[in-house]
Structure 1
Amino acid sequence: MTKYKLEYIWLDGYTPVPNLRGKTQIKEFESFPTLEQLPLWGFDGSSTMQAEGHSSDCVLKPVAVYPDPARVNGALVMCEVMMPDGVTPHSTNKRATILDDEGAWFGFEQEYFFYKNGRPLGFPAEGYPAPQGTYYTGVGYSNVGSVARQIVEEHLDQCLAAGINHEGINAEVAKGQWEFQIFGKGSRKAADEMWMARYLLQRLCEKYEIDIEYHCKPLGDTDWNGSGMHANFSTEYLRTVGGKDYFEALMAAFEKNLMDHIAVYGPDNDKRLTGKHETAPWNKFSYGVADRGASIRVPHSFVKNDYKGYLEDRRPNSQGDPYQIASQILKTVAEVPTSAEKAVAA
């Protein structure tokens, strides 16, 4: 038997953006534990905005498990928060209510800033560095520094070692800003892995005395980019059948549900979605082929392939909850009948 260090990880009750939380317990197993072997575990919800002090018990329910690359015999345990009965989802548990579809594929592009001493990494103590231009996908100390490159490479290795489908990294448009991409088949699986990748990044940065700033517009109304979490998505029907008529009906549904999407795409999005810096205004819907200033960017490959493939919703921001983002996208997609559904209705 081997003693395993189980890091139970969950989302707290803070609004409008929950925080990641984690605590460790030690359990013995003959080999790396399966999800079914992991027990429920209680915690003090009054310390995480999830209960009152006079009735503070909440329960962690394991829902996914990954190897912990930073620990010997370690496991990262993604959890849902449940009521004391261990069965009823807590009101803050957005994962429990996600519209899940194993045939839906999501690729999230997580942008963020490294922050140190209250300013983006690489910014001078006063004022600003050289204007945006050479930082995006940049190389060299003056563009990306040294420690940032070290962190993103280490984070990449940790995600891959944990079995997370990390698909790439790049320096972003603003000084101190970076991006990583997570892809998953199944909306719940993709969102789980994004939250776990965020956790690994934040934990890794502890030893460098650097924070991750997820706010979508941390530098305010300046000529510096904000941060998004663009959501690339497809369904089995969109990949295999598609068609121009279906695509146009889908875009009409997205336009109709504009405010429902904005409501869950992350707080303060009006500060980021201004129509500047490759964004569409938050209160207007648009789409266009290869248009990074549209709400939804349509890849050239999608049009060339008879309107089949994936689409990119550029509106979700860096603080957004991938559970809610994926679920809202699928809710809108579900409003548009496929050709087979139309035939049955007729």
Structure 2
Amino acid sequence: MAQILAPSAQWQMGISKRLTDATPLTTKMWGSLVLKQNKKGAVKSSVKFGVFAVKSDNSTINRLEQMLNLDVTPYTDKIIAEYIWIGGSGIDVRSKSRTISKPVEHPSELPKWNYDGSSTGQAPGEDSEVILYPQAIFKDPFRGGNNILVFIIADKLLRSEDKSFPSVDCRDSADCDRVYSLAQAQCVSRVNYWLYGRRFCLLPHRSLFSWGWIHQRRCHAILGSLRDNDEKVDDYAIPRGDWFEYVSSPHYLAEIVIYGGLVVASGFSDITIWLLFGFVVANLVFAAAETQRYGIEQEYTLLQTNVKWPLGWPAGGYPGPQGPYYCGVGADKSFGRDISDAHYKACLYAGINISGTNGEVMPGQVSFSSPSYFTS
């Protein structure tokens, strides 16, 4: 875990002298730092993590301000979208930043996103994912350029107000027992629809026909819900492919045994059964060749330079209970925001493929993430 030594909250709040070439905001947050701290920063190391002490001279402050005011528009088509929504209390504002590949003009052009509702008082820990639905966009007056603010409504709020709101929840179904997210539900339900529904409906056996029809109806309903939610398979589907996992799965082994038995029972003469048996085996081969998608998230903690204690914590003490800090907004909830924003813009300027950032559950803790990657 990388940690950065940053000025204490007390220093940031003081204003004892205006800097010559600073904006009012920078002067307010960093002015007293220059007067009270003149030690040069140094790179230190530890077995568990590295610590970088931020230099507190004028050059460092100016560089930070340059990064905050940097307009990355001439260097990249990517923009930063700040997703903003209301937390569990109904009055607390939350937000997180996401990289968008190009400027947009309408909320429908923006992807849906998610967050941990258990950290905002909007969902239980065992079912914490809440989906963010963009509703309106505005120009971002803080970051400038083509960057935008996105006003959001969350699916948990929609469901509590409108019982007809489409939702996907397959966790009680034997065929969707491994579905833990909307993305996986989409991938699995699509497989179920084609493999179970369509294939079993072709069989002349009434029991198998009924089973296939039930699967087809259920998975069709799931797909319909996903289409209503406008999710994109290519963006969100998470392949589950692993040869041993598929071959050793009782579900697929049972299919092979059933079809193998039907092939033998038909005297090896039923073309339909042969085709279906081959289709099952082909699916196993296809599963082995599938790729898996993964993403990387790096969390780090900002420290106060004078006491080597997390930013936003009282010196030698502990902060209040977790809850208001995750994706928190405001000087009493989001600590070191200037540093994380400067880092974000610096990455975009440098061409680094950063996908977003947000405040974490602990004061002074921030995370940034990379886009999804495929691996074979």
TM-score (norm 1): 0.24
Q: RCO higher in 1 or 2 (8 Å CA, sep ≥ 6)?
A: 2
Larger Rg belongs to: 2
TM score, norm. by length of structure 2: 0.22
Name the one with the larger helix percent: 2
